[in-house]
Chains A and B, each alone.
Chain A
Amino acid sequence: MGKIIELKKVNKWFDKFQVLKDIDLEVAPQEKIVICGPSGSGKSTLIRCINRLEEHQEGNIIVDGTELAENTKNIEKIRAEVGMVFQQFNLFPHLSILDNCTLAPIWVKKLPKKEAEEVAMKNLTRVQIDDQALKFPGQLSGGQQQRAAIARALCMEPKIMLFDEPTSALDPEMIKEVLDVMVDLAKGGMTMIVVTHEMGFAKEVADYMIFMDEGKIVERAKTKEFFENPKSDRTKLFLSQIL
């Protein structure tokens, strides 16, 4: 199968500090990958490089056949087809939930307003907050806001979804409602890269697990193997702490 995301020998520095070291990664369409690892290991930086919210200095990143480089037009095109969900939701507080969802389809994909609203309502229904469409983000609970943020990303009809610790800012009782939406999305065949420490979710949907430490991919394995028979000691230690 062809690859939809390819990273080859990617290196990245913040000033003198090297955050990513020789990262190689391939993702096939419809694959689900979960990335875990200790704080500061470079997980966020890695997935933010995939839609170029961060720039890498060495190596190649190829997303859906387009290499990420200086050319801005390509980057906007890539970003339009890569959805991203943030830890802090980052909904637009000055717009209603519906407008949050229709804004980019109207202005970036040039969808007519009516069509954009239909797409938005379809996705809001899918994440089960269609009854909140006319409210503003500040009026929603954390779990509802994160589901709205997922719907907003889905409205661009992305080929790939990136999640950066989508449940870390949520109270425990809201984590499940967001994970349920993500499981549903995974079952629907979306290509997903998820940074999370929700190992139950990882076991349920991930094809591959990636464990990162100090900017390196320490272990990459099929999910079952990763949990039952981790190779590196570093992974074993991490799993024993988190499980």
Chain B
Amino acid sequence: MYGLYPDTEQWRINTAFLILFAVVAVSFFVSEKLKKYFILFLVFVFPFLGIKLISGGSFGLEYVESAAWGGLSLTFIISAFAILFCFPIGVILALGRRSSLPAIKYISIGFIELWRGVPLITVLFMSAVMFPMFLPDGTFIDKLIRVLIAITLFEAAYMAEVVRGGLQALPKGQYEAAKSLGMGYWRMNALIILPQALKLVIPGIANTLLALVKDTPLIFVVGLMELAGMIGLAKTNPKWLGMAMEGYVFAGLVFWIICYAMSRYSQNLEKKLSTER
């Protein structure tokens, strides 16, 4: 559950997740207007609050280095961060790829094709092992953060292509109608194009995000142990000897529950947003 996180400090992870669940649960019951603030809090405040709480180092909390984080909580942390950040980056890349400005267009294409063309494992190794060598002496970026950034950018490239599919499916008339009403590039995309394009590709987005969650076990190659990795470790512990089978079945089940929940959510979203056609 908590990996190698010190036993005495586990309440901090518990608190972080309790806050998360409490906020999400409450947000289901409040009015639409308040919901906006809850979502803003979840997206902009909570990630930093949660990380602070778990990593410590201030407010009298003992510092726990990220190498000691692990287990299911790490699965959640990585998935949540990557999902949160890969989505907007992916949207921006998708728009960039269709930009009429050649510089932006080719940078976007280059970025997307670069990240799409490399296996995730290679990316992880690069971020964990090779990247620090290029940093000037004395600078240090936490391994977990490097890995998070790597996963986020990797998934953002896939997200960009999914979103681009949606953009391409929209008839030209939608762009022309928006322009003819005096909307500039950003308003047109934010109000007319993206709402329709994203709705069209909800299944594709869900697919990408599910793949992301299921890719998190790969981080074991750089020594970070999320749920599945932790079980690999636990089975060598004499206390758990002979339980490997149960452990992996458990891990599989947990992943299945997470992914099934996400898939149901995307289906509901699709239903809720379908207005016409």
Contact between B276 and A137 (Cβ–Cβ < 8 Å)?
yes
Contact between B180 and A93 (Cβ–Cβ < 8 Å)?
no
List the B side residues contacting A123 at CB < 8 Å: none
State in angstroms the CA–CA spacing of A107 and B180 once bound together.
14
Partner of B176, one of A53, A91, A138: A53
State in angstroms the CA–CA spacing of A93 and B173 once bound together.
12
> Count of B residues near A, CB < 8 Å?
22
Partner of A108, one of B176, B181, B199: B181
Contact between A108 and B275 (Cβ–Cβ < 8 Å)?
no
Complex: chain B residue closest to A105, CB-CB: B181
- Which A residues from 60 to 113 make CB contacts under 8 A with B? 72, 76-77, 79-84, 86, 88, 90-94, 103-104, 107-109
CB-CB contacts of A133-175 with B at 8 A, as 1s and 0s? 0001111000000000100110010000000000000000000
Q: Is the interface of B mostly helix, strand, loop or mixed?
A: helix
Using known A-B contacts A93-B275, A136-B275, A138-B276, determine if residue A104 contacts B183 with beta carbons closer than 8 Å.
Answer: yes
- Which A residues from 177 to 228 make CB contacts under 8 A with B? none
B169 at the interface (CB under 8 A from A): no
Contact between B180 and A108 (Cβ–Cβ < 8 Å)?
no
Using known A-B contacts A86-B177, A88-B173, A108-B187, determine if residue A156 contacts B182 with beta carbons closer than 8 Å.
Answer: yes
List the B side residues contacting A45 at CB < 8 Å: none
Using known A-B contacts A93-B196, A93-B277, A103-B191, determine if residue A108 contacts B173 with beta carbons closer than 8 Å.
Answer: no
List the B side residues contacting A91 at CB < 8 Å: 177
List the A side residues contacting B92 at CB < 8 Å: none
List the A side residues contacting B199 at CB < 8 Å: 94
B179 at the interface (CB under 8 A from A): yes
State in angstroms the CA–CA spacing of A94 and B180 once bound together.
18
List the B side residues contacting A137 at CB < 8 Å: 276
Contact between A108 and B183 (Cβ–Cβ < 8 Å)?
yes
B192 at the interface (CB under 8 A from A): yes
List the A side residues contacting B176 at CB < 8 Å: 53, 84, 86, 90
List the B side residues contacting A93 at CB < 8 Å: 196, 275-277
Contact between A51 and B191 (Cβ–Cβ < 8 Å)?
no
CB distance from B191 to the nearest CB of A (A): 6
Complex: chain B residue closest to A82, CB-CB: B180
List the B side residues contacting A156 at CB < 8 Å: 181-182
State in angstroms the CA–CA spacing of A157 and B172 once bound together.
24
Contact between A104 and B275 (Cβ–Cβ < 8 Å)?
no
Contact between A79 and B196 (Cβ–Cβ < 8 Å)?
no
Complex: chain A residue closest to B277, CB-CB: A138
Contact between A139 and B276 (Cβ–Cβ < 8 Å)?
yes
B174 at the interface (CB under 8 A from A): yes
Which of A84, A92, A103, A153: most chain B CB closer than 10 A? A92
B195 at the interface (CB under 8 A from A): yes
List the B side residues contacting A103 at CB < 8 Å: 181, 191-192
Contact between B174 and A107 (Cβ–Cβ < 8 Å)?
no
Contact between B182 and A77 (Cβ–Cβ < 8 Å)?
yes
Complex: chain B residue closest to A83, CB-CB: B180
Complex: chain A residue closest to B182, CB-CB: A80
List the A side residues contacting B173 at CB < 8 Å: 86, 88, 90
CB distance from A104 to the nearest CB of B (A): 4
CB distance from A5 to the nearest CB of B (A): 15
B184 at the interface (CB under 8 A from A): yes
CB distance from B126 to the nearest CB of A (A): 41
Which of A72, A77, A94: most chain B CB closer than 10 A? A94
24 A-B residue pairings within 8 Å (CB atoms): A53-B179, A72-B184, A76-B183, A79-B181, A79-B182, A84-B177, A84-B180, A86-B173, A86-B177, A90-B173, A90-B176, A91-B177, A92-B174, A92-B192, A93-B276, A103-B191, A103-B192, A104-B182, A107-B187, A107-B191, A108-B182, A136-B275, A138-B275, A153-B181
Residues of A participating in the B interface, judged by any CB pair closer than 8 Å? 51, 53, 72, 76-77, 79-84, 86, 88, 90-94, 103-104, 107-109, 136-139, 149, 152-153, 156
Residues of B participating in the A interface, judged by any CB pair closer than 8 Å? 171, 173-174, 176-184, 187, 191-192, 195-196, 199, 273, 275-277
